Amino acid sequence: MKKDNQHIETAVIHQGYDAKDMLGSLTPPIFQTSTFTFATAEQGERRFAGEEEGYIYSRLGNPTVKILEERMASLEQAERGLAFASGMAAVSSVLIALTKANDHILCSSGLYGCTYGLLTMLQEKYQISHDFSLMDTEESIREKIKPETACIYVETPINPTIRLINLKMVADIAKEYNIPVVVDNTFSTPYLQRPLELGCDIVVHSATKYIGGHGDVIAGLVVGKKAFLDSVSMTTQKDIGGIISPFDAWLLLRGMKTLPIRMDRHCDNAEKIASMLENHPKISAVYYPFSAQMKEQHFDKQMRRGGGVLSFEINGSKKDAQTLLNHLTFIKIAVSLGDAETLIEHPATMTHAVIPENTRMEMGITDQLIRLSAGLEAWEDIWYDLEQALSKI
Ligand SMILES: *Cc1c(COP(=O)(O)O)cnc(C)c1O
């Protein structure tokens, strides 16, 4: 829990770390060690038996990683956090921990491409089935719940179509059936949206994106109730082993200190670019939370602001979409998001290429759809680059 009820701007800098414990070091030290020595054989026995607190081996716990996990838990108002080597290590550890053969997972329609790949693998190898739901009405959720539904898995905003799902509605229904709700909060970060406060049970993050924020680390985070995270830590995390390195944990601790100020700038830029695109003749649709075209959605209680990612459709073909990307000067063609640099990508042929075409179309991922992650540059420069590239199609 966030001690002293600190604001998130303070918590990202201070929670989980006390310099007194570390010889006064202002920034957390990197404990770059694989294992920890025991003073005696008996101490080793007590540590393994769980009778004495202390470190054993870095796959089971590391002091630098622990600071990150405690800080992240405090930001999401969770009892415990766990860090992983990637967002997918976090997602897979959670989904494997929650399910067994013949179970069922109910998902929002629209998922990160590799999460979709994982679900397909779980189905083929372990007969864990899944269904998709728009989750836009109570009925659309209830009709897809089965006796064997082991969890509900939600992304909001949905990547890359930026559709929003009412998390409180999903959580309220899930409670009736006693089914845990997992939310991928990568796009929003705890600065913009805190699913646990809305009644969801587990939050996963690709920390590669906004949490790290500098495009230099691949990492994942999970937060939730202590009992469930204890079980993940002792099963899928320990025995599959997708743990984060102490150095990468340190990079995240460093990046996180500026999360709130970065998010505000990402949001400022994305809002501005979305409104400029809405008025451009070569653009047929803009998808961004709270933008003019999506105003009917009253999600302002769920999300503080719209985030840094927007998508848009151009009047034209796949070739025209590629022409736009090819004529940008400083905006970078790259997957990923949440970096200082503005990044642009073509979901149908990149992040979501693994999804069969008909499913992809159902999800709204057309050949004309382009996703942009607004960076921290001056919005005028981002817009100038986009506008001159649009003039080439
Ligand atoms: C990037 C991403 C992931 C996967 O995270 P990695 O760190 O690349 O493994 C999962 N979900 C969402 C929404 C993402 O954007």
Regarding whether 218 and 196 lie in a shared domain, the answer is: yes
Positive/negative CA dihedral, 40, 44, 49, 55: positive
Cα 114 to ligand 1 centroid, rounded to whole Å: 8
Regarding whether 274 and 226 lie in a shared domain, the answer is: no
Pull the structure tokens for residue 384: 């100038």
The predicted pLDDT at position 192 comes to 97
CA R_g for the chain: 21
Residue pair 351/335 in contact by the 8 Å Cβ criterion: yes
Among 256, 276, 302, give the residue marking a domain's end: 256
The predicted pLDDT at position 333 comes to 98
Amino acid identity of 130? Answer: H
Regarding whether 306 and 263 lie in a shared domain, the answer is: yes
Regarding whether 207 and 74 lie in a shared domain, the answer is: yes
Pull the structure tokens for residue 392: 């080439």
1 within a domain of the structure (yes/no): no
Q: Which is nearest to 272 in space by CA: 160, 133, 381?
A: 381
Regarding whether 278 and 322 lie in a shared domain, the answer is: yes
Residue nearest atom 8 in ligand 1 by C-alpha distance: 87
Site to substitute for ligand 1 among 88, 161, 311, 339, most atoms within 8 A of C-beta: 88
Regarding whether 321 and 185 lie in a shared domain, the answer is: no
Regarding whether 199 and 73 lie in a shared domain, the answer is: yes
Q: List the pLDDT tens digit at each of the 393 positions of the chain.
A: 445 679 999 999 999 999 999 999 999 999 999 999 999 999 999 999 999 999 999 999 999 999 999 999 999 999 999 999 999 999 999 999 999 999 999 999 888 889 999 999 999 999 999 999 999 999 999 999 999 999 999 999 998 999 999 999 999 999 999 999 999 999 999 999 999 999 999 999 999 999 999 999 999 999 999 999 999 999 999 999 999 999 999 999 999 999 999 999 999 999 999 999 999 999 999 999 987 666 556 687 899 999 999 999 999 999 999 999 999 999 999 999 999 999 999 999 999 898 889 988 888 899 999 999 999 999 999 999 999 999 999
77 within a domain of the structure (yes/no): yes
Residue 27 belongs to domain spanning: 8-256
Among 256, 277, 300, give the residue marking a domain's end: 256
Regarding whether 239 and 96 lie in a shared domain, the answer is: yes
Pocket lining: 92 vs ligand 1, CB cutoff 6 Å: no
Total structural domains in the chain?
Answer: 2
Query: Which ligand 1 atom lies nearest to the CA of residue 187?
Result: 13
Regarding whether 159 and 279 lie in a shared domain, the answer is: no
Cα 373 to ligand 1 centroid, rounded to whole Å: 14
Q: Which is nearest to 90 in space by CA: 221, 189, 202, 211?
A: 221
Regarding whether 241 and 282 lie in a shared domain, the answer is: no
For the domain that residue 183 is a member of, what is the CATH number?
3.40.640.10
The predicted pLDDT at position 1 comes to 43
Regarding whether 211 and 187 lie in a shared domain, the answer is: yes
Residue nearest atom 9 in ligand 1 by C-alpha distance: 87
150 within a domain of the structure (yes/no): yes
Residue nearest atom 4 in ligand 1 by C-alpha distance: 87
Regarding whether 297 and 159 lie in a shared domain, the answer is: no
326 burial (CB, 10 Å; 0-12 / 13-18 / 19+) is: exposed
CB atoms within 10 A of CB 388: 12
Backbone φ and ψ for 124, nearest 5 degrees, come out as: -70, -40
Cα 206 to ligand 1 centroid, rounded to whole Å: 4
